Amino acid sequence: MTEQVHALQAAQGLLNEGDVAGAIPLLLIATDGGETKQRYIALLSLSRAYTATGAATDAEGAARRAIEAMPQDCTGYALLALNLMEQLRLSEAAEAAEAALRHASNAPAQAAPLMNLAARIAILRGELGAARDFIDRCLRIRPFDRRALSYRAAVLQALDTPSDSGVLDFGRLVRVMRPATPEGFATMEDFNRAVAEAVAASPGIANAQPGKTLVGGARLPSIAMLKPALAWALRAMFRAGVDAYAASLPADDPVNAGRPGRFDIAGWASVMEAGAYELPHIHEGGWISGVFYPEMPVALNGPNDAGAIVFGGHDLPEARLPAGPMFPLVPSTGDLVLFPSFLHHRTRAFNGPGRRISVAFDATPS
């Protein structure tokens, strides 16, 4: 085994552990000669690592070297397009995205995310008609592509054709349920208290990490870290909620177009105190998503429904694309809020008193 292969394997181990800075010197060794495919993989990893550390010029250089190594593959062009987009070199980014699409023409699984990338670049350039065309091409390949659906809603709203989107009817898409008391608990109040105390006291909870959507709060990455009885009860509650939500929709509803044959429940929890909030995001891996609120203050103080979950908008610069209509919802303790995973949402900054504890989940294809 060559030195380059050893270096690549070691670098991948460090990347898996989150040590991006430590991986870069090893990736530089891995890109210095060796078999073409191995060098290409190392250059892609190096470009991503430089991007993660904010070294845009170095990231661009690694992506261009990757293209030189394997000009027939689309991934190098895609990384270059992402890098140029972040630098706001949008004409060059559009050219790189188009090149990526040309080289992915026979691989629909690769083409769909590349069309989303091309659509985002077109939006940033103010070319909304072109963006809509890329989005529609993506949806012909993957009718329930979450990113494409979220972009489509924002673009059609900006083009003043929201009636065509099928994804802006908040009254249809957002549901608030009051779950039944889980088995093994005397009352719903007992269950709420048990979940809130378990989340807040879990040794697995940690302050929000850079690059994540939670700002200023703390997160438990998985409900599997709770006691099995609580985790099982939460999953059962979420599964029942998803089944009821889906059953209430017409068979031809766009949400049901994405229904998997079987689904799993992936859940996590958040604790917010004064000043914490969630950035705009969607849940790209899910079909139906939801949030359960085991602890909410009796009254949310301050203006603008502090602590509310807000649906609508997007995660693009609003100077390039208006936010469009918003649907704020102030949950109460014990509420279960469900919505399709493609629907953008955020929270307004919580300002107490007390804690805002939530347990979110995705219903993901098995």
Q: Divide the 366 residues of the chain into consecutive groups of 10 and give the mean pLDDT of each group.
A: 86 90 94 90 95 94 96 96 95 97 82 94 94 93 88 83 64 93 95 97 82 87 95 97 93 82 95 90 93 83 71 78 82 95 91 88 93
Bridge partners for 266 per DSSP: 362
Q: Evaluate the CA torsion angle 51, 55, 58, 64 in order and state its sign.
A: positive
pLDDT the model gives residue 350: 85
Q: Which long-range contacts (CB under 8 A, 24 or more apart) does 66-71 make?
A: 66/40, 69/36, 69/39, 69/40, 69/43, 70/36, 70/37, 70/40
Helices (H), 107-260: 108-124, 128-141, 146-158, 170-173, 188-201, 228-247
Report which DSSP code applies to 327. Answer: E
Question: According to CATH, what is the number of the domain 3-164?
Answer: 1.25.40.10
Residue 339's nearest CA partner among 139, 172, 144 is 172
Q: How many CA atoms lie within 13 A of 311 on its CB side?
A: 26
pLDDT the model gives residue 301: 47
pLDDT the model gives residue 80: 97
Question: According to CATH, what is the number of the domain 174-365?
Answer: 2.60.120.620
pLDDT the model gives residue 299: 56
DSSP strand pairing (175-177 vs 336-340): antiparallel
- Going across the sheet that includes 345-347, the strands are 326-329, 309-312, 345-347
Residue 1's nearest CA partner among 30, 28, 42, 43 is 30
DSSP strand pairing (356-365 vs 277-278): unpaired
Q: Where are the domains of the chain?
A: 3-164, 174-365
Helices (H), 209-310: 228-247
Distance separating alpha carbons of residues 70 and 253, to the nearest angstrom:
43
